[in-house]
Amino acid sequence: MLSITKKVITAFGVLLMSLGGAGATYAQGASIAQLPMGGSIDMTMPLYKSRIVTVEQPSGRVAVGNPDIADIVVISPTQMYILAKDIGNTNLLFWARDGRLLGSVNLEVSHDLDGLKAKLHQLLPNEAIEIYSAQRSIVLKGRASTAATMDAAVRIAEGYLAQIQTAKKAQQFELEEGRSRREDEAV
């Protein structure tokens, strides 16, 4: 039996935890979150997944703390579509038409650890491998029956890490494309 104690694969996200507090917590599985009037909710979303947030009163203005982490699209005055774009934390703020703050969402975007756990269980059902995250790394811990099984688990996890590289390359392309347009316009 080979031990995979704290095998770290670089470039991953944040451990899925909810930080208690005044608001509700919505984990990866919840597709619609209700924002209580004047309150806040903590929400964890996997990279490239989306959620709907509803507010009790029509919203006049919305803002994203870090648009590199998430996008927000107003579907209707009471429904917002949130898309997780990169690993990290940000917040979303919602104001009423009269300027009152309706509420906020504290958003944590991480890799799809539930999907990775399911895939490992599907492909390596008899292996006792736990999955954690720390910063932008995936941590595999447990025992593998063979070295080949351990390597397979690492390769599967690395596939999930490739999502971050895709996000970074897309952001770099957008930045470079924006610079090219400005340079062309200046001529």
| 6-34 residue pLDDT tens | 333 332 222 222 222 334 444 444 577 88
Residue 28 to residues 5, 56, 70, 77, 89: CA-CA distances in angstroms?
Answer: 26, 22, 15, 24, 15
pLDDT in tens, 126-168: 898 998 877 778 889 988 889 998 899 998 888 888 766 665 6
Residues linked to residue 5 through DSSP beta bridges, in sequence order: none
Could you tell me the pTM of the whole model? 0.65
The total number of residues written for the chain in this structure: 187
Cβ 101 vs Cβ 93: under 8 Å = yes
